Amino acid sequence: MSDGLNWVRADEHPELLAEPVLAAVRGRDDVRVAEIDPDLADTAEFCERYGMPLETSANCIVKP
């Protein structure tokens, strides 16, 4: 991806997830996480910095 984020399997960075989330995704190869600058946690700032469309961003867990 060219968004400047280092996407890795969710269970490779357990410190980025709450324990219930980690338990739910552990072992799944299709779930990725990326560490972000905590100063960019605001959704609009995050989207601008990382070039992500607003509709792909959330401050919560989204279940399709």
- pLDDT bin (cut points 50, 70, 90) of residue 61 is low
Residue 52's H or E segment, with its range, is none
Find out whether 8 and 34 touch, Cβ atoms under 8 Å: yes
The yes-or-no verdict on residue 44 having pLDDT over 80 is yes
- Of residues 3 and 28, more confidence is placed in 28
Stated pTM of the model:
0.68
* Residue tagged 């919560």 (tokens): 60
Give 32's strand partners: 9
pLDDT tens for each residue of 7-40: 899 989 999 888 888 898 988 989 898 888 888 8
